[in-house]
Chain A
Amino acid sequence: MKGVGKAQRSGMWGALFSLGSGMLLICLLILFTSDNPADTLRSFFLGPWSSPWFIGNTLDMVALLLVSALGVAVAFRGGTFNLGGEGQIYIGGLGATVVLLSFPSLSGTVALLLAALVSLVLGAFMGGLSGLLKRFARADELITSFLFSAALTPVADYLIAGPLRDKSGSLLASPRFATTRILPHLLPPSSLSVSLLWAIALVFLVFILMNRTESGYRFRVAGASPEFARFGGFPAPAYWGYAMTASGALHGLAGFFAVAGTYGLCHQGFSGGLGWSGIAVALIGRNEPLALFPAALMFAWLKAGSDGALLASGLQFETSAFVQAIILLLVTVRFVPRLGRSL
């Protein structure tokens, strides 16, 4: 009655607005810093779509961002904040790697399924532990999830550089998985794999679970208003636990998609800030599952663009980092809903 738009729509507006202003700033930045602004602009905005190879890589990044951003959004909608996504992705990917490198008797599909399950369980365990600590020991999940992640990252680093390392290569990485044990690629030679389809399906699955089911309703209410949840007879702390577990599971899966889809092996630091980018994407999409599509697409575009421009026309590395910082800054300022309302 008072002209407030749907939550979904405000999410969309938020995504568009923060990315639009981000792009404007990028253009200005390039105009002032680049020797050849026209070329830089072209490689920045069109580069990511200039050939099947680039398109594939950009879409692959979209897939990874979608899954990890979905993990962040689930935690947030359930009333928690998962700051350990980076480590959950890393550990999840590592678990998948161990499975994919052993059990030579298993067929490729079974091995992949098992690897997905292991990464999911590992991530869920890490997230769930923070959820349990929040529920029973009142420990802030923001801190505990970050600390778990930070503590386990060096362990994973060691395992990749030590026991799992491919001794024949010069990289700090595991051996390449057998070709049957890599997710089918869609646009070879790019890194795009079926993980994109899985990611899209996962987003819809979460959307439906959250908005159409009894548990999803309780999950949302427990996240938004714990007191009211108790009044309704479903105590919120239990749902906080589920939120962190589901969030961790999705991050773990993102790790699986990264090793089994994108890279085909596990190298040190493969998560490369994916968890943090996931938070940014979730914020751009205002934690609305469906709004994550445009958010992830735009974010991946900008990231691929800045990487491309870095190579193609000498855009400085600081500039591309600066661009990402600007977007993060823009999405954390919550002035967008108000704009949406006055429209």
Chain B
Amino acid sequence: MDILLRNVTKYFPANGVQALAGAHFELRAGEIHALVGENGAGKSTLMHILAGQLEMTTGELLIDGLPRVFQSPRDALQARIGMVRQHPGLVPGFTCWEDAFLGIPRPALLPLDRHLARQRFQELSDRWGFDLDANVKTENLTISQRQKASIVTLLLHQVQCIILDEPTAVLTPMETERLFALLRKLRSDGKAIVFISHKLEETIAVADRITVLRQGKTVATRRSTETNPGELTALMFGDAVDRYQPEKTEPAEPVLPHSMMLPKTEPSPKPKEPLLQVEHLFVNQKDFAYLRDLSFSVLPGEVYGIAGVRDSGLETLELTVTGFIKPLRGTIRLQGIPLQGRGPLAFRNAGAAYVSADRLGKALALRLPIIDSLMVHAHRRFVKNRRFWPRFLDLKAIRYRAGELMSLCGIQGRLESPAEAFSGGQLQRLILAREFAEEASLLVLAEPGWGLDASGRALLQERLSKYLKDGGTVLLFSTDVDELLRLSSRIMVLRDGQNVLELVVPEDQVQRPLIKPQISAAMVGTGTAKEEIREVLA
């Protein structure tokens, strides 16, 4: 099946956004075609049009040379085109196979043969090596399993074209490799696969061809064998490349936190009091992975990275350190102040700022005006009267500050617009800017790369190195080993709620990737690591 999208435009009259302005896209059977572009370039919009979830304003869609119009995802499915969302929505309480069979067309009034249906699901899953149990309840699946279950659902619909919307952004490296192995298998079966991504290197590794979108227009389509991350970055950002330092030049840039780690005036580097000290921490919280006897300390001025796969206790530790979860036992001290179980405010008052991994739920009030989200910390400082109740806010100063944050992030918009009117990438930048503005001695940063495009990441890097230069300290949580290696000065690996490896990152950027296998192996455990590697090789 060959698909051609020609001259597609999409205008959203509700908010006046021209999401697409002449995009082309060509997809052939038996290829993996990656779609890359900045946040807001129109990648998702274009693919939602192909999957029938949006209608194009103008343009045409040709399937095997014949013009088609999709008015709903059902039309697209009938044309054998299906999409997998980043966070697939499955029906809670249903088993995998029940969920998969929900939309499968079948004769009316005839009861579903449950046994046969389950068997079909299991067979399909086994044939492709999805490693899913048809009888598992959907709410017990991890995100990568959910994505796989959605792919099986599409295969049950006998699709020939599978669209994946940024699948790897929420996956660990091992899960990503498995997904790629799967995609290659599907390709060899003649399926056409579209793959939306931010990560250029993995894109080049897995895709056959790459199409670059910029500001709603198709800039170029390249064979992955004939391009490189540098060229793609240039295509994605156009002129913007000059303004933001693209990622590829980073190793050459002296943005090393180490150089700022120990000021030369320091007489001896050894007797340094730890800024954050966690000792013998036990956490046993419902719905969270547990922590067992965890101890570590963060020195002033360093970037302490904590690595771990999903369910290793990474999220638990993030929430415990920041005061959201009360530990069972153990102590957490920031600048000597005990914080365990005393809540997020005590944590902030001790001099810390926090960018959570869950940004939209926790770090923002989506339905309130954006200014309400921006002033959440600042509102304590801009109070006109402290003596009597009610304390009036100095709204003029707050509005000025919020406006500053907006322009700092290069975002134009009214402070009264609800947060949900901004794009995900814009909100990310605003949250980062808000937390950096706190002048905290410790910044807890969880998954900083999530949802940021290359220019956003460059901005983050710039802010981060400035923050470190001013004497700040960072506690970094990430599932992305490359990101940790790029940013951290020390790394701890968390597995099953325990500290299994702690090492100093070499200062030399060239040597850094050398310790990656060691970290990855520690993250998944040495026993399983071998299996995983074998699987990747096979």
Contacts and interface: CB of A to CB of B under 8 A. Distances in A.
A258 B16 CA distance: 49
Given A227-B361, A228-B364, A3 B16 contact: yes
A31 interface: no
A227 B362 contact: yes
Contacts of B343: 233, 235
B389 interface: yes
A111 B364 CA distance: 48
Nearest to B16: A3
A4 B348 contact: no
A20 B15 CA distance: 26
Q: Give me the 8 closest cross-chain CB pairs, A-B, nearest first.
A: A233-B345, A1-B413, A2-B15, A225-B365, A213-B390, A232-B376, A214-B391, A2-B421
Contacts, number: 93
Nearest to B347: A233
A37 interface: no
A4 B418 contact: yes
Given A3-B15, A3-B16, A225 B356 contact: no
B412 interface: yes
Interface string B1-19: 0000000000001111100
B368 A1 contact: no
A234 interface: yes
A202 to B, nearest CB: 15
A216 B368 CA distance: 13
B16 A2 contact: yes
A139 interface: no
B417 A220 contact: no
B459 interface: no
B375 A217 contact: yes
Interface string A230-273: 11111100000000000000000000000000000000000000
A221 B365 contact: yes
Given A338-B14, A341-B15, 18 more contacts: A1-B421, A3-B15, A4-B15, A4-B418, A6-B416, A213-B391, A215-B391, A216-B390, A217-B372, A224-B368, A228-B363, A228-B373, A231-B356, A231-B376, A232-B344, A232-B376, A233-B344, A235-B343
Contacts of A214: 379-380, 383, 390-393
A1 B422 CA distance: 8
B463 interface: no
A209 interface: yes
Interface of B: 13-17, 324, 343-345, 348, 354, 356, 361-369, 372-373, 375-377, 379-380, 383, 389-393, 395, 412-414, 416-418, 421-422
Contacts of A209: 390
Nearest to A216: B390
Nearest to A231: B362
A220 B379 CA distance: 13
16 contacts: A1-B417, A4-B418, A4-B421, A7-B416, A217-B372, A217-B375, A217-B393, A220-B368, A221-B372, A224-B365, A230-B324, A231-B356, A232-B344, A234-B345, A235-B343, A341-B14
Interface residues of A, number: 28
Nearest to A9: B416
A170 interface: no
Contacts of B422: 1
A260 B33 CA distance: 76
Contacts of A232: 344, 376-377
A231 to B, nearest CB: 5
Contacts of B13: 342
A230 B145 CA distance: 31
A204 to B, nearest CB: 14
A234 B365 CA distance: 14
Interface in A1-21: 1-4, 6-7
Chain A contact residues: helix, strand, loop or mixed: helix
Nearest to A218: B379
Interface in A194-215: 209, 212-215
Chain B contact residues: helix, strand, loop or mixed: loop
Nearest to A209: B390
A216 B375 CA distance: 13
Q: Which among A212, A216, A232, A235 has the highest number of chain B CB atoms within 10 Å?
A: A232
A288 to B, nearest CB: 13
A242 to B, nearest CB: 12
A152 B372 CA distance: 39
A286 to B, nearest CB: 12
Nearest to A6: B416
Contacts of B392: 212-214
Contacts of B390: 209, 213-216
Contacts of B418: 4
B395 to A, nearest CB: 7
A228 B420 CA distance: 14
Contacts of A212: 392-393, 395
Given A3-B16, A7-B369, A228-B376, A215 B364 contact: no
Contacts of B369: 7
A227 to B, nearest CB: 5
B354 to A, nearest CB: 8
B162 to A, nearest CB: 32
Contact of A217 (B17, B367, B379, B412): B379
B361 A1 contact: no
Given A4-B418, A4-B421, A342-B13, A220 B345 contact: no
A243 to B, nearest CB: 15
A235 B348 CA distance: 14
Nearest to B372: A221
A213 B391 CA distance: 5
B350 to A, nearest CB: 12
Contacts of B356: 231
Nearest to A230: B344
A4 B367 contact: no
B407 to A, nearest CB: 13
A225 B368 contact: yes
B364 to A, nearest CB: 6
Contacts of B391: 213-215
A230 B354 CA distance: 13
A220 B348 CA distance: 21
Given A212-B392, A215-B391, A228 B362 contact: yes
Contacts of B421: 1-2, 4
A231 B355 CA distance: 10
A1 B345 contact: no
Contacts of B379: 214, 217
Contacts of A341: 14-15
Nearest to B393: A214
A231 B393 contact: no
Contacts of A4: 15, 417-418, 421
A321 to B, nearest CB: 34
A216 B366 CA distance: 18
A1 B427 CA distance: 14
Nearest to B391: A214
